[in-house]
Amino acid sequence: MLLSQLVLDPMREQGGGAIVNMASSGGIGFESYGSPEYGAAKAGLIRFTASLASLERSHAVRMMCVAPDRIGLSRAQAQWERMSADERAASRPLIPPAEVVSVVLSLIHEGVGGAVVEMWGGEQPVVHAP
C-alpha cells in the first residue's frame, strides 16, 4: 500500500502506468481465516486497489490486484509435503509461481484499472473488473 502511494505522483508526472498489488485468497470471502490479521490486511489491500483505481483513471494510472491462493514456493511445498494424503486430496493444488507471473504480466500489458484477479489452484483465474 505504501509503495503504491509513493509511486503515484511520479507515475502521474510521466503520464500513467500500471500498479499490480499482490493480495491473497486470505482476503477474499466471509468465512473465518486462520490468521485474522493477515486476512484483514489482504482484504484491505483489495479494497485499497479498487478504491484508488477509480481515483487514478483520470491520471492514466491503472491499479490492479492479484489475490492468489497458496503459491508453490518452498514454504508452501514443505507444508504440502507434511500433509497427509487425505489432507492433500481435500486441498486445492499449489499454484505454480510461473502462473502468478503470467497473470501479473498480462495485467501490466492489458489489464483494466480496478481489476482484481482471484487465483485458485487447479482453476482458471477469475477476473473481477469494474
Q: Which residues are catalytic?
A: 38
Q: Determine the Cα–Cα distance for residues 45 and 40; give it in Å rounded to an integer.
A: 9
Q: What share of the chain is helix, strand, coil (3-state, %, to 5)?
A: 50, 20, 30
Q: What nine digits make up the cell of 111?
A: 489489464
Query: What gap in Å lies between CA 102 and CA 104, rounded to an integer?
Result: 5
Rounded CA separation 127/33 (Å)? 22
